[in-house]
Amino acid sequence: MQQLSLDNLRTFVSVIEQGGYAKAGEWLGRSQPAISLQIKKLEAQLDRKLFTKVGQRHVPSADGNWLYPKAKELLEMNDGIFRSLSPAPLSGRLRLGIPSEFASTLLPGLIGEFSKRYPDVSLEVTSALSRDLLHRTKRDSFDLILALANPDEETQGELVLQDDIVWVGDSGLAVHGDAISLVLAPDGCVYRSRVIAQLKQQTRAWKIAYTNADLAGLTAAIQQGLGITALARASMPANLTVLKHRFLPDLGKVNICLFNQDSQHPVVSKTLAEFIKTRLTSAA
């Protein structure tokens, strides 16, 4: 018996409501290739073309417009079942610590869905470097922390995903091999440390042209042609692309971990942790 993937249907609905693959990716916290793959799987299962390319836009086809209200109905039924069967409405304040790049790419869609399902939960989000979030003087300020760790590093966190660190830049700008210009987060950033360690092992010239702790600032600098950066693949924004050149060394892996602290609201904290894990693993 064939069964539709509700996750694929949610992506389909998001593409229509957000106005395209890239914006749906930002809303759902997934890369544009991941969005495209989900749509292709749904189209293959239904044997129908759900979108038509008009210029740079994806607009729903006749079959897409026919499916849209039915997909919305299925998703609402699914979400309603979980709301109805929840033992008690979740409530309380939850303090989440998260790196800037995941706050920009993962949180927008996740917070919307989480808040819709649990309207009585107040989320207080702080973005900072993983090192700062996990510092002994600060980590008790959070109920839940999403942080990066090197694969050989011992942590008390739960491994959610081991991801590739990739070189990231603007697809419309050429990357020259004579000297590598970098835009990076400040000292203490896992990506920065890995990039510098790998570049020091080769002879090609490089420089740090711009430093900013916020992903939006780094993205703006990249799009202005100041340089390239490195990110976990799962945190890459839709408006940037993975770069592969013979003069860019392999950057290896990074562990994405969740640290569930002793919280006054353990059920709320655990529920948000499951949301985050589902989003990260489905986008990988």
Domains of the chain with CATH codes: 6-85 (1.10.10.10), 91-284 (3.40.190.290)
The sign of the CA dihedral 245, 250, 251, 256 is: positive
At residue 208, the pLDDT reads 95
Q: How far apart are CA 216 and CA 219, in angstroms?
A: 5
At residue 62, the pLDDT reads 93
State the DSSP code for 228.
Answer: B
3-state SS assignment for residue 230: strand
Task: Pick 201 or 26 by higher pLDDT.
Answer: 201
Considering the chain, what percentage of its residues have pLDDT values greater than 70? 95
Structure tokens at 268: 């709320």
Name the least confident of 52-56, 77-81, 117-121, 260-264.
260-264
Q: How many CB atoms lie within 10 A of CB 81?
A: 10
Task: Pick 28 or 128 by higher pLDDT.
Answer: 128
**pLDDT tens digit sequence for 23-63:** 888 888 788 888 999 999 999 999 999 998 887 788 899 99
Q: How far apart are CA 283 and CA 262, in angstroms?
A: 28
Crossing angle for the helix pair 32-46 and 21-28, to the nearest 10 degrees: 110
Q: By CB neighbour count within 10 A (0-12 exposed, 13-18 middle, 19+ buried), where does 51 fall?
A: buried
Task: Pick 90 or 189 by higher pLDDT.
Answer: 189
The overall average pLDDT reported for the chain is 88
Let me know how many helices (H) and strands (E) the chain has, helices first.
Answer: 10, 11
pTM check: above 0.75: no
Number of residues in the chain: 284
CB 63 within 8 A of CB 26: no
At residue 262, the pLDDT reads 65
